Amino acid sequence: SQQGEEDPQALSIQEGENATMNCSYKTSINNLQWYRQNSGRGLVHLILIRSNEREKHSGRLRVTLDTSKKSSSLLITASRAADTASYFCATDGTSGTYKYIFGTGTRLKVLA
């Protein structure tokens, strides 16, 4: 079964607004990563947060991690049309493996 589940499945906002996506996972993790995928292309790494971190920033991105709730959120501030993409969280699932499990993704559409 999927380690990560994102919600919402789809999100449509106006340019300039903030977009928040959530990810839940099922087992203990070492790290959680977020990736972006433009339509039909490969994924691009956005940010990695370690299990002992609670929040991390990178440019307009803010990621939080709550290991007690097994959840993470990705906030994109001041969204742009170019942010239109699908966003996935990925976890390493079981400690000691290099098997990354991806969530189902959130499709974000930013309207100009």
Partner 1 sequence: KAGVTQTPRYLIKTRGQQVTLSCSPISGHRSVSWYQQTPGQGLQFLFEYFSETQRNKGNFPGRFSGRQFSNSRSEMNVSTLELGDSALYLCASSSGQGASGANVLTFGAGSRLTVL
Residue with Cβ nearer partner 1 (50 or 57): 50
**Contacts of residue 92, Cβ cutoff 8 Å, sequence gap at least 6:** 29, 30, 31, 98, 99, 100, 101
- Binding flag, residue 58, partner 1 (CB under 8 A): no
- Binding flag, residue 104, partner 1 (CB under 8 A): yes
- Binding flag, residue 106, partner 1 (CB under 8 A): no
Residue from the set 14, 52, 59, 96 that interacts with partner 1 by CB under 8 A = 96
Q: Give least dist CB 33 to partner 1, A.
A: 7
Pairing of strands 10-14, 106-111: parallel
Concatenate the DSSP letters of all residues of 49-101 into one string.
EETT-SEEEETTEEEEEETTTTEEEEEE-S--GGG-EEEEEEE--STT----E
- Binding flag, residue 35, partner 1 (CB under 8 A): yes
| Site for partner 1, rule CB under 8 A | 2, 29-33, 35, 40-45, 48, 50, 88, 90-92, 95-105
